[in-house]
Amino acid sequence: MKKNRLVSALQKLAAAGAVVLAAVSLQPTTASAAPAPVVGGVRAAQGEFPWMVRLSMGCGGSMLTPQIVLTAAHCVSGSGNNTGITATAGVVDLQSSSAIKVKSTKVLQAPGYNGTGKDWALIKLASPITSVPTLKIAETTAYNSGTFTVAGWGGTREGGAQQRYLRKANVPFVSDASCQASYGSSLVPAEEICAGFDQGGVDTCQGDSGGPMFRKDNAGAWIQVGIVSWGEGCARAGYPGVYTEVSTFAAAIKSAAATL
């Protein structure tokens, strides 16, 4: 089992009503400074990625509409009414007094999700967040190449603590053939898109799941091409990050959002 979806442990804690961030902070820490989170990244500026959302079960997400967050299927436990998730938006600092916090009302996990591929889900919020913009999703494969940006509050190294401040990094596209050479039949090439450096060092990591991988489109606007899904460890040489291929699911995501 190469898939490293450590967030499932966080989900269980969240389901049990535990405070995920507190739980994570109980992990032993070392004195060495962790440079990034997203491994190998740097802090994002306030307002740089205004559609980024932190979800209370320990995942990331992006604003699809003012009232719907796009995240990963493995961050949620099914579909239906759910008032147990809090979305935090509008801030890079999760402890900021200006953070916008809104509870969920419903969750829609990708139809047919069984742990392999199809790693997307929608979270309906109790009220729209109108003070932040939405992030456009890629509806064609046109932007499934080049250099992508990833961002999140996840660990800055394998086993590392969740972060208070949003971090970002850039990672290059990795072809299906190359990614399959790393992951074999664990990869679902039609549903997943990989990114990372051959030598490793920069990647998303535990707690970044559900957050967007994005780039600029030809008009200079940010467009989401991936959803943080899984990888073998984090930032290891020869093991790129694996992301849900948003273009594959854009039509399904849009029609599902219309039903929420």
Which spans of this chain sit near ligand ARG (rule: CB under 6 A)?
A: 4-7, 154, 203-209, 228, 230-231, 234, 241
Rounded to whole angstroms, the Cα distance separating 179 from 192 reads 10
Least distance in angstroms from the C-beta of 251 to ligand ARG? 25
Single-letter code of the amino acid located at 22: A
Residue 191 or 203: which CB sits closer to ligand ARG? Answer: 203
Which residue is closest to ligand ARG by CB? Answer: 231
Least distance in angstroms from the C-beta of 241 to ligand ARG? 3
Least distance in angstroms from the C-beta of 234 to ligand ARG? 4
Residue 66 or 172: which CB sits closer to ligand ARG? Answer: 172
Residue 89 or 205: which CB sits closer to ligand ARG? Answer: 205
Q: Catalytic positions, please?
A: 74, 119, 209
Residue 67 or 152: which CB sits closer to ligand ARG? Answer: 152
Structure tokens at 75: 């961050």
Residue 67 or 117: which CB sits closer to ligand ARG? Answer: 117
Rounded to whole angstroms, the Cα distance separating 121 from 209 reads 11
Least distance in angstroms from the C-beta of 233 to ligand ARG? 6
What's the 3-state SS for the chain?
CCCCCCHHHHHHHHHCCCCHHHHHHCCCCCCCCCCCCCECCEECCCCCCCCEEEECCCEEEEEEECCEEEECHHHCCCCEECCCCEEEECCCECCCCCCEEEEEEEEEECCCCCCCCCCCEEEEECCCCCCCCCCEECCCHHHCCCEEEEEECCCCCCCCCCCCECEEEEEEEECHHHHHHHHHHHCCCCCEEEECCCCCCCECCCCCCCCEEEEECCCCCEEEEEEEEECCCCCCCCCCEEEEEHHHHHHHHHHHHHHC
Least distance in angstroms from the C-beta of 128 to ligand ARG? 26
